[in-house]
Structure 1
Amino acid sequence: MTGEVSEIALSKQELREVTAFAAASAEAALEVFEGDQPDDLRPREAVRAAWEFARGGERGKALRDSAWAALRAAKGADTVAAREAARAAMSAAGAAYLHPLARATQVKHILGAGAHAARAAELVADDDRCVGVEHLERTLQRATPVLVDVLKRFPSAPRGGGRVGELIRMLDADLRSLIFAE
């Protein structure tokens, strides 16, 4: 049947690993948002909620609400860099909701926080693309074998998405090429 998408088996522990990776990636960008909006804790709360799930909490309304709140914070930020940092936090909380569908678009749930954080870093550095690449290199160091295994079950990241999409594809390619010692 055309249009049918196969499902990918994902355990709760694997979702926790993906979310921990995303939370660590977004955490690196919180200072960018807070430098712009020091009284707005919504992105920090989204990252906190992501960490809570990654460390054994449940996926629930509070986690989902924190992701939406971080997205609203992004819309209210004064700078593009701060908006990207808040989107990184939103992506971290949203990583817990990775869908088990074999679609390339799901890769954004895995890598979106890292890409948005890298874009925020670039923008703070006057759009220096080298800064984004360096940020992605640090993000790669947080990868675990479980994260890479989950990522490899999905098709490669899709085209489009502007610079953030480009950063997602770079991170995707680099993670898929990692080899871990056994």
Structure 2
Amino acid sequence: MDRTQSLIDEFRAEPAESDRRRELVAGMSDILAERPDHPAAVAFLASVAADTEEYDLARVQATTALRLSPPTDDAHRQRAARALLAVMRGPDEDLVRQYAAMALGPYADDPEVHDAMAAAVLDDEDQLVRDNALAALSHAGPSDGRAEVLHRLADDRALGREAARILTAWGREPAA
């Protein structure tokens, strides 16, 4: 049995609210950092992130792993993105949604991810989800679509200044 399967088996054997579960997800993060397209690691982290019955801290750790070591294979990348979208759009605790919003940056070229990030940054009820979606947009880097979202934020009292700062950093003119 390889290390990946061993971590997955140990995770499943732990009680639901165990801090050890979060630690085991962190171990899986290390595997993904070494091999971003490890099929078992990607599938495991995506399933932990999307599982609304899972321990929130394990879910946060899984979203962080998917942000820091995004898969490069299209199928694995799409699986990770769909899991993160489900979390951010879901009825979850705000903390998990906030981390999912932040984790979407590496997946922003996917049109569905872009649309979800735009919706979150423009309209989400949780200000920290909005803040994290804006950080993810910034992390994703310049594109016409992302610049358009930032221009739409120009008059936003909470995020307008940061949107203008990002546009300037990208070499784009902020709205006057």
Where relative contact order (Cα < 8 A, 6+ residues apart) is larger, the structure is 1
TM-score scaled by structure 2?
A: 0.38
Greater Rg by CA:
2
TM-score scaled by structure 1?
A: 0.37
